Every structure is written in structure tokens, then in C-alpha cells.
């Protein structure tokens, strides 16, 4: 009788414990996420394919774009524009930054705008620093506390369907959610 | 020994009865027949179609002889069908117009529309694009080149769900991917405007 009670008691303790341990196990998205080197504004963040430094960040309700041959245009946003100034250097071979996104505290991820050519599409040459900007259009509520994520470095025509366990850069932008009337960027020359 | 055999038969019969009883009740009542497929909801222009990845509001469906997307500003001659949608990405990840159009099965007068001629985000004063960021409503334009002048358009919209993947190779197995549903969640039926 005592042995039976001990068995039932052990089961009553172990089963919830097993459930709790299974819940603590990270899911596959977390296990395979890119391995990020983190940094802050002004700091050079090193990864195997390139080093990246955020030189500055600004947000505004309208974007003034200086394009090719001195042509300028103004773009209103359905949300807010965030322009991130970057300096990037390839370390060993020609490479582009790849997937450049802003991650809001609520988990939503925003791709760099495809309206203009930003530094994200420029091919970086080894040892030669290149400065430029990348613009994002996102809802105003997502700006405060957003983090810059750079992953999936792009080597020529190599297609990478996933950035699993690849190199990445993660930089907190310290945005407070306020937006100036206008923010400016210069299109990258690819 | 005969008593044990009798008892075994009793238990066998009892278990068989428990298993077969629900079947015996359900079968005559039609419970084993295939469930009828739910018909996709019907929509018309202006009605929102809400999926788990995109919310769409079909705004305009038109037949035109004017090239909707002239390459390098030079219009092509031909007949075109144009569909304008207001699209909001309601997921937490960016998507592409090309991914959205993959969930649409377009028919013209009851026949498949064929490959899309052009698909892009339309932006006033800016370049056309492909990216749909979460929470930013965009106007998406899809166009097809046609041989005749169709009267009606139907667009079957299939929803997508984000689920853990499964791979025999094992690497990155379990990471989340978007999967299309098996049946459309809604069908837009509309006459084509003439332009």
C-alpha cells in the first residue's frame, strides 16, 4: 500500500515537472535564429562577412530624398519614416548587407523600403568602408524601442532561403517615438 | 478451463460491442459519410477579405486597352485586365506582392487568367515596389494580358497560416513557414469595368 502511494506521489510530482521542462525548451525559430553580434550607436559591430557601425538615426513624417543627378523628391509616409545612417566594410570578399530590418518591441519586423536604393543593396568591397543610409516606413506605434537587425549577407547570386545560424548584427537604436516634420536621405549609388 | 474460456469470450464480446455500438448508431444516420465541404464565402468589390497574413479590399477590376504598366514609359499595344486591391499585411513579418499573388486564383469568364503580366505596389510619386510591411496599407495592382474582352472576373483567395516546418533533412526543421490552405477562404465575383 505504501509503495503504491509512493508511486502515485512520484508520478504526481514528475509529470508536471516534465511538462514544465518541455515548456522551457526553446522552439525551433529560437534555436535556429541567426547568431547576432550586438552593439550600440557609434560602435563598430563585427561579424565574419562585414563590420557595421550605426552613425546616426532620425525619424520624421515626411522623407526628403536626394536622388541621382541632384534630383530631389518628397515622400509622405502612411506611418513614420526612420532613416538609419550606417558605415559598413566587407572583411574578406565582396558582399552586400542582405536583409536589413527594424524589429519593434511588439515583435513586428519591418523591411527596408524598396522605394529608394539604400546601403542594404550596395556591394561592399573588402577593407573599403562605405557610408550610406537605409530608410524604413513603419507605423508610429512601432518606432519607440526599435532594434536594427542585419542578417543573411548576400554574396553575388548565392540564394539563401534562410538565415538559420548565420551571422547577424543587432543594434538598439534608442528611438523615443517622436518624429520630426521632415527627415532626409541620399540614395545609394549601386 | 471451460469457465476461463467462457469469461474470455464474454470480455471479447463486451469490448467488440463497445467499439461497434457508436458505428452501428452513426452509420444509419449518415455519420460515416464525408462531411460536405464548406463553400467559400462570396465577395464583391469593396468588401474586405480577411486572412491571417493579409487583409484585402478589392477596389477595382477593369478591362482596358491601355497598358497599365508601360516598360520604360513605352506602352504596349494589347488588351489588359487590371485588378486593384487595398492590402494590409496583418502578420508580424514583411511579405511580398509576389507571395500575395500566389494565393490568388484568377478566372476570366470562367477560364484561368494565365500568368500575371505585372504585379506591384502602386505608390503616388514614388517607384512601384514589392514589399508589404506589417500595418502599412498599400495599393497593389495586378494585370494580365488577354486575347479577348472578358466580361467577368473571379478571384479565389486562399489563406495562409504560419506553422512549424517539417523536413526529412532535419536542418532547421521545425522553424516556422507560411503554408497555404487547401481550399479558398473566399471568392471575389465581379463584372469587369470598361475603360
Q: Domain ranges in chain A?
A: 30-186
CB contact under 8 A, A78 and B136: yes
CB contact under 8 A, A114 and B129: yes
Task: Determine contact: A24 vs chain B, CB below 8 A.
Answer: no
Model pLDDT for residues B78-89, shown as the tens digit of each residue: 999 999 999 999
Residues of chain A positioned with their CB less than 8 A from the CB of B89: none
CB contact under 8 A, B131 and A113: yes
Contact A123, A163 (CB under 8 A): no
Residue in A27, A107, A164 nearest the CB of B92: A107
Residue in B129, B130, B133 nearest the CB of A110: B133
Q: B46 to chain A nearest CA, in Å?
A: 21
Task: Determine contact: A157 vs chain B, CB below 8 A.
Answer: no
The residue among A175, A128, A124 whose CA lies nearest residue A150 is A124
Q: B36 to chain A nearest CA, in Å?
A: 36
Residues of chain A positioned with their CB less than 8 A from the CB of B172: 28, 32, 162, 164
What is the architecture of the domain spanning A30-186? Sandwich (2.60)
Residue by residue, DSSP assigns B78-104 as: SEEEEEEEEEEE-SSS-EEHHHHHTTE
Model pLDDT for residues B133-157, shown as the tens digit of each residue: 999 999 999 999 999 899 999 999 9
Pull the grid cell for residue A106.
Answer: 511588439
Task: Determine contact: A131 vs chain B, CB below 8 A.
Answer: no
Nearest residue of chain A to residue B176 (CA atoms): A29
- In angstroms, the CA A139 to CA A104 distance is 10
Reduce the DSSP state of residue B107 to 3 states and report it.
strand
pLDDT of chain A, 190 residues: tens digit per residue: 788 889 999 999 999 999 988 888 888 899 999 999 999 999 999 999 999 999 999 999 999 999 877 788 888 888 999 999 999 999 999 999 999 999 999 999 999 999 889 999 999 999 999 999 999 999 999 999 999 999 999 987 776 667 889 999 999 999 998 999 999 999 887 7
Task: Determine contact: A72 vs chain B, CB below 8 A.
Answer: no
Amino acid at each position: 500500500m505504501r509503495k503504491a502511494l509512493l508511486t502515485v506521489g512520484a508520478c504526481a510530482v514528475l509529470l508536471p515537472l516534465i511538462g514544465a521542462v518541455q515548456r522551457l525548451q526553446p522552439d525551433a525559430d529560437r534555436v535556429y535564429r541567426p547568431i547576432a553580434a550586438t552593439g550600440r550607436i557609434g560602435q563598430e559591430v563585427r561579424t565574419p562577412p562585414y563590420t557595421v557601425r550605426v552613425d546616426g538615426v532620425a525619424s520624421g513624417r515626411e522623407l526628403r530624398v536626394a536622388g541621382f543627378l541632384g534630383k530631389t523628391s518628397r515622400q509622405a509616409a502612411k506611418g513614420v519614416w526612420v532613416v538609419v545612417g550606417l558605415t559598413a566594410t566587407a572583411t574578406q570578399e565582396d558582399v552586400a548587407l542582405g536583409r536589413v530590418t527594424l524589429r519593434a518591441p511588439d515583435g513586428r519586423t519591418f523591411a527596408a523600403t524598396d522605394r529608394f536604393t539604400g546601403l542594404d543593396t550596395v556591394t561592399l568591397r573588402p577593407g573599403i568602408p562605405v557610408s550610406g543610409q537605409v530608410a524604413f516606413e513603419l507605423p508610429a506605434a512601432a518606432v519607440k524601442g526599435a532594434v536594427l537587425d542585419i542578417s543573411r549577407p548576400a554574396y553575388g547570386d548565392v540564394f539563401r532561403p534562410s538565415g538559420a545560424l548565420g551571422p547577424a548584427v543587432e543594434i538598439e537604436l534608442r528611438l523615443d517615438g517622436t518624429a520630426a516634420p521632415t527627415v532626409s536621405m541620399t540614395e545609394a549609388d549601386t | 478451463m471451460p469457465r476461463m474460456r467462457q469469461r474470455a469470450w464474454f470480455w471479447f464480446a463486451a469490448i467488440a460491442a463497445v467499439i461497434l455500438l457508436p458505428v452501428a448508431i452513426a452509420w444509419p444516420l449518415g455519420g460515416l459519410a464525408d462531411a460536405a465541404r464548406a463553400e467559400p464565402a462570396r465577395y464583391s468589390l469593396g468588401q474586405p477579405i480577411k486572412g491571417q497574413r493579409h487583409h484585402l479590399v478589392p477596389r477595382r477590376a477593369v478591362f482596358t486597352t491601355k497598358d497599365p504598366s508601360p516598360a520604360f514609359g513605352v506602352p504596349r499595344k494589347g488588351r489588359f485586365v487590371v485588378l486593384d486591391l487595398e492590402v494590409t499585411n496583418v502578420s508580424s513579418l514583411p511579405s511580398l506582392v509576389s507571395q500575395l499573388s500566389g494565393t490568388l486564383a484568377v478566372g476570366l469568364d470562367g477560364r484561368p487568367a494565365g500568368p500575371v503580366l505585372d504585379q506591384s505596389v502602386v505608390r503616388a510619386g514614388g517607384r512601384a515596389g514589392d514589399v508589404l510591411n506589417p500595418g502599412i496599407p498599400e495599393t497593389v495592382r495586378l494585370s494580365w494580358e488577354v486575347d479577348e474582352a472578358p466580361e467577368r472576373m473571379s478571384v479565389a483567395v486562399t489563406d495562409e497560416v504560419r506553422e512549424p516546418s517539417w523536413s526529412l533533412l532535419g536542418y532547421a526543421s521545425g522553424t516556422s513557414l507560411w503554408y497555404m490552405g487547401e481550399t479558398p477562404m473566399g471568392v471575389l465575383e465581379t463584372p469587369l469595368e470598361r475603360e
